[in-house]
């Protein structure tokens, strides 16, 4: 089984998460402020995170559906995202959770075109997870 989580993440030492929300006109689903406790450390950078969730769940069964959903939220924000990229690290984070070692996401030409036009680095992190 393959499941996915996708988020737009903006990271920086001088990042004002409230200002990012105002700039993008989108509320984050989560923020991390400098000094917040993490699993094994303390945050040294602020992080603004917007994650899209499928209806009725926390993980997607299609990476393309998840990415298209996130990209559609920010479809009118390309110029503002470029400005943020000039000051902070901006990426699309994709978590791929698999209970097997075969298969994985498929990237259609349409999705690849959308990602290229969006112009943000994409990070795909794969995790092994039990099917339970």
For the segment 10-33, the average pLDDT, to the nearest whole number, is 97
- Predicted confidence (pLDDT) per residue in 84-104, tens digit: 999 999 999 999 988 877 777
pTM reported for the whole predicted model: 0.91
The domain tally of the chain equals 1
20 in Cβ contact with 74 (< 8 Å): no
- State the residue range of the domain holding 123: 2-128
pLDDT band at 126 (very low <50, low <70, confident <90, very high): confident
Per-residue pLDDT tens over the stretch 61-89: 999 999 999 999 999 999 999 999 999 99
Q: Distance (Å, rounded) from C-alpha 70 to C-alpha 93?
A: 11
Q: Enumerate the H helices of 74-128 as residue ranges.
A: 78-85, 109-118
């Amino acid at each position: 089984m393959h499941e996915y989580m996708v988020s737009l993440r903006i990271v920086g030492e001088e990042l004002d998460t409230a200002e990012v929300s105002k700039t993008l006109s989108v509320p984050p689903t989560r923020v991390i402020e400098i000094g917040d406790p993490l699993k094994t450390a303390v945050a040294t950078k602020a992080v603004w995170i917007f994650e899209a969730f499928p209806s009725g769940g926390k993980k997607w069964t299609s990476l393309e559906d998840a990415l298209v959903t996130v990209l559609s939220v920010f479809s009118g924000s390309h110029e503002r995202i470029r400005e943020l990229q000039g000051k902070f690290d901006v990426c699309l984070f994709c978590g791929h959770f698999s209970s097997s070692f075969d298969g994985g996401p498929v990237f259609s030409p349409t999705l690849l075109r959308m990602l290229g036009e969006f112009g943000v680095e994409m990070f795909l992190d794969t995790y092994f997870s039990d099917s339970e």
